[in-house]
Amino acid sequence: MDASRSAYFLLFLMLAAFSLRPRLVLWCGLCIIAARTAMLFWFLGQPGVFTDLDLQDTSVAGLLAARPDPNFLFLGFRTTEIVVIVILTAGLAIVVRRSRRLVKNRAVAERSRANLARYFSPNMVDHLNATQNPLGTIRQQDVAVLFADIMGFTRMCENASAEEVIALLREYHERLGQAVFDQAGATMSGPATSCRSAPMTAGRSGC
């Protein structure tokens, strides 16, 4: 029962950690522990095998004298090996769970940022993301508000296909939104669009 080969079992534990699935890490660790334990009992059942508990001389000198024998098995080392695997499995499972949570939170933050970017300029999105209190300090500020509509939109929709209407709205929102975002403004879009200039900073007019 070569102890150096037990390191190969840890490769499976490492590969399981790359999956970012804590349950898979725990399952892999339990399988490794079960395999090593089964190997231990199988080895103990072989003829001629003896352990440190069978030695008459349990001193360090006696253990060193028995170690070269291929049939000698030091139970203390095997127990320590299993304990280390248990600790590694639990630690990796915790780390994988935390990493999975961080990745999920990062994805939620990116999704929220993408949603904000649809209605606010990039510098305003950065400001909102960097602010812990979304509402900020209450203040009064002069703003410019523009309400824009597409003339004949309802009649045009009656004679146009859904693809044509969506393409028109996307182009309309893209052009108007870019003009508003260039002035650090915000938009509320629909067939009729309202935009407000510089809600975060004063002294600019964009709509």
d(CA 169, CA 52): 81
pLDDT at residue 95 greater than cutoff 90: yes
What's the pLDDT score for residue 87? 92
Q: Residue 199's pLDDT band (boundaries 50, 70, 90)?
A: very low
Burial of 54 (0-12, 13-18, 19+ CB in 10 A): exposed
Band of pLDDT at residue 201, cut at 50, 70 and 90: very low
Conformation bin of residue 48: beta by default, left when phi > 0, alpha when psi is -120 to 50: left
Top mean pLDDT of 1-15, 33-47, 134-148, 177-191 is at: 33-47
pLDDT band at 27 (very low <50, low <70, confident <90, very high): very high
Residue 146 forms beta bridges with which residues? 195
Q: Residue 53: name the closest of 67, 70, 74 by CA.
A: 74
Confidence tier at 13 by pLDDT (50, 70, 90): confident
Task: Tell me what pLDDT residue 205 has.
Answer: 38
Mean pLDDT of the region 31-55: 83
80/195: higher pLDDT: 80
Q: Are 204 and 194 in contact (CB under 8 A)?
A: no
**189 torsion bin: left (phi>0), alpha (psi -120 to 50), beta (else):** beta
